[in-house]
Structure 1
């Protein structure tokens, strides 16, 4: 059965490759839209405000990601738990999971928002932001952090639908956000002349509207999983299962973002042109990685549903499809971005120093792209099976404990043109650990959450 109940996808039957691709395509389109409006942010400020503003907006992305990571972990844990219960046919527990997730959100969103706003200045100080970009970076981060609730709410909606095999509805929410964000960027920056403040307001308004539209649409289209933000139904045992998977994922994402901020601190010491070039190169890197990210998110839900249905054979088939597809795509992107990097960076800024800095970033990381794709795919697959501790530890060792010192060492010893090879060094360790752990088979030991839930 491919789909049922208006787009909810049962992935325990039929071709694994077909399910993964059909689930991944809307995720890919949605992620492309998300990156598109992020790149429009960068293009608008780079072309019509200046390189300092371009650097400021780029500085904000890892900081915002760090603040939202714990809630993204909650959404990720919800995806896995809901996928496993849905695969096991236990829709009443799916309903309980949805209520529990949103109850946790409503009680913690405001404190997290206040904390984020309060930490903006200390974080900018630690990042050693260039004086020319400091004021714009502070303004951008303060406004976006004040509106985090929309970003968090959108991710929760996406996580719930992802567990049910529905990625096409999430695409609808992102399309609304992307179109609104692009329109507001052009109006608030080009027409109103609000600069970085206009870009921040556009982001907050579009994310909040996408979240609220998502609530209305889900409740109207899928009454069986209607979201009731203030129902106060909270299952402690279920929340423990969700956080057992989601908390390590959230901590992982937060720490990776923190590591990226530490790397950014070093990047910022080379001046605003170098920072702006890195930000453009990073945007192109993120755009190129979207298909791998979408396939990996798809395999999380696929493995979750099939583990819930006790179909380990299908789970392994889906993992193989994802890894092979991700490697092929990564090799194609390396062949494109290494030779044409300067031309692509030049679309965002005509400053030679910015173009050179962006091209250096791409030239250093792209040779390692395929091994990172394997690491990313395997870790997401194992998380779908309920194995969340290993992916977190793998990320900490490879993306923080090795990558950050390697970047600093290479920058201090050989200069800025070589520092990004430290990223590839971290990816090599992560790939090695992921491959060995997957081959060991220990990720299969958790079994079906539905079975554990019945025993409890």
Structure 2
């Protein structure tokens, strides 16, 4: 049976729609973090703290690289969601063709540069000397698999824009199971399979990403998904001037926002690295746990963005505002519950990654100061998701810049210099507080409702009708 265009997010109970859309996204985030956690357990427990510190540095670089294309992917998602809400299938396919061409070209360029420059990048991050070779081996292989990672993330985002969050989850499940199964096999070797050490963990990830992407592409064409590009749609695979203009104009600030987040992470781990491998390993373990805390916010934030964008396309502004309220309420309950759970089992959770008692003690200190503040992060993420759904992207980017680079990072370096390692973690709640105040002020008093993704699409008419 063919997949037909259906603006299902513009009707029915908003709370139920948000939950049904967000749950597969949340479960997908859980799978990805579970995958990373299990891999980290193998590396940390069997290859040592230096290898674990290496993966922490390499993973920060990968987050940076995903940030490079996040903006274009998010702009594509919003454009597709608005097109689906307006029942404009042709425009949706034009967005797929243009943004897909961009993703392929960028992925190939980054792969070539990354393989060649991995040692330089890691050295520039002040990666601890005992972890440098581990990190270089791991990162180079991850760069080779980057086109598959970009490809899967691109398809996932356009399908979510079309209102389908379930299908990407199923193929993410395939990737996760493969990665988990292949990690110990390739790290330690078995029979004719050689022991590759930390490189084996990276090879497992690349294989899993490739298989998942290939299966998803085959599925989309066999099921005749309405966003698949057939021979008749070849004219859409080009750099459409109007769409590429929107993707750059709207996607660049969203990409810069993620770059601000990722570069602040690199600056922070650069500071932590100066305290040695034990501190870096503790921070890496704490961030593994905080990634779970952020999952509800990221899932609900992605859901409200798609739901709001479809309703913007349909001109249903009352549902846009109700989406914000429901998104915040759901996030408070889910994030709060996870924070409480981690606090109850703080030491045991860190012990999954760390054997060194000094590292565990540092990790417990990090969690005690930072975890509760991720509830504030969740509210900011939801509000920003709704605002971006209209095409208003500049103020959220500036808000992130102020909260991270003007507040968190300077405070962290100052606290580290004045009071030592234990003090730098307070920069997290301070930065989150600034972010939530600025985001809510813009939502209440800003002009984000008048923004639009394309100057001549149907959402423009909706804007005029709503004043």
TM-score under structure 2 length normalisation: 0.92
Residues 32, 78 of structure 1: alpha-carbon distance in 2 compared, 3 angstrom cutoff: same
Kindly provide the CA deviation profile for residues 190-214 of structure 1, in whole angstroms up to 9, marking residues without a partner as x. Answer: 3343111000111111112222222
Offset, 1:398 = 0.7
1:264 to 269, 272, 284: 269
Provide the residue aligned with 2:444 in structure 1.
439
Matched, 1:303 2:305: no
CA contact (8 A) 1:28 1:291 kept: yes
Match of 1:360 in 2: 365
Cα deviation for residue 454 of structure 1 reads 9.1
- Is contact 1:56–1:134 with CA below 8 Å preserved after alignment? yes
Residue equivalent to 1:375: 380
Equivalent residues of 1:126, 1:265 under 8 A apart: no
What's the CA shift string for 1:212-247, capped at 9, x where partnerless? 222221222234211469973331101212232222
Counterpart of 2:182 (choices 156, 181, 184) is 184
Note the residue ranges of structure 1 that are not aligned, 5 or more in a row: none
| SS across alignment from 1:226 | coil
Say whether the 8 Å CA contact 1:30–1:171 is kept in structure 2.
yes
Moved more, 25-34 or 69-78: 69-78
Q: What is the CA–CA distance in structure 2 between the aligned matches of 1:144 and 1:447, rounded to whole Å?
A: 37
Per the alignment, residue 47 of structure 1 pairs with: 45
- Partner of 1:198, secondary structure, is helix
Measure how far apart 1:155 and its partner are. 0.9
Deviations 1:328-380 (A, max 9, x none): 22322332223421121012222101211221221111232221111111111
Answer whether contact 2:4 2:226 (CA < 8 A) is retained. Answer: no
Q: CA deviation at 1:448?
A: 7.0
What's 1:219 paired with?
221
Q: Residue 147 of structure 1 contacts residue 204 of structure 1 at CA under 8 Å; is this kept in 2?
A: yes
Report the Cα distance in structure 2 between the residues aligned to 1:179 and 1:335, rounded to whole angstroms.
Answer: 29
* CA–CA separation in structure 1 for the residues paired with 2:150 and 2:387: 24
Which residue among 61, 81, 84 is the counterpart of 1:83? 81
Distance change >3 Å, CA 7–CA 421, structure 1 → 2: farther
Change (3 A) 1:177 1:390: same
Quote the Cα distance in structure 1 between the aligned partners of 2:238 and 2:458. Answer: 18
Cα distance in 2 for residues equivalent to 1:102 and 1:109: 11
- 1:236 counterpart = 2:236: no
Distance in structure 1 (CA, Å) of the matches to 2:125 and 2:319: 45
| TM-score using structure 1 length | 0.95
Displacement after TM superposition at 1:21 (Å): 0.4
CA deviation digits over 1:73-132, x for unaligned, max 9?
211111000000110111111111111111222333211222223332232122111111
Q: Residue 453 and residue 234 in structure 1: after superposition, are their counterparts in 2 closer, same or farther (change >3 A)? A: farther
Mapping of residues 190-209 of structure 1, within 5 Å: 190-191=188-189, 192-209=194-211
Change (3 A) 1:450 1:87: farther
Q: Evaluate the alpha carbon distance shift between residue 399 and residue 315 of structure 1 in structure 2; reply closer, same or farther with a 3 A threshold.
A: same
1:94 corresponds to: 92
Cα distance between partner residues in 2 of 1:301 and 1:371: 21
Report the aligned-residue RMSD: 2.1
Residues 81, 313 of structure 2: 8 Å contact kept: yes
Counterpart-to-counterpart distance in 2, 1:206 and 1:353: 35
Q: For 1:165-184, what aligned pairs fall within 5 Å after superposition?
A: 165-184=163-182
Partner SS, residue 270 of structure 1: coil
How far apart are the structure 2 equivalents of 1:15 and 1:205?
A: 40
Other structure's SS at 2:11 match: coil
- Find 1:341's aligned residue among 343, 346, 364: 346
Match of 1:119 among 95, 117, 120: 117
Tell me which residue corresponds to 1:157.
155
Contact kept? 1:106, 1:230, Cα under 8 Å? no
Measured against aligned partners, the alpha-carbon deviations of 1:381-424 in whole angstroms (never above 9, x if no partner) come to 11112111111111111122211111111111111112111121
- Mean alpha-carbon deviation: is it higher for 235-244 or for 311-320? 235-244
Runs of 4+ in 1 over 6 A off after TM superposition: 228-231, 453-456
Q: Is 2:255 the partner of 1:250?
A: yes
SS at match of 1:72: helix
Contact residue 327 and residue 373 of structure 1 kept, 8 A? yes
Kindly indicate whether the alpha-carbon contact (under 8 Å) linking 1:274 and 1:357 is maintained by their aligned counterparts in 2. yes
Deviation, 1:7, is: 9.2
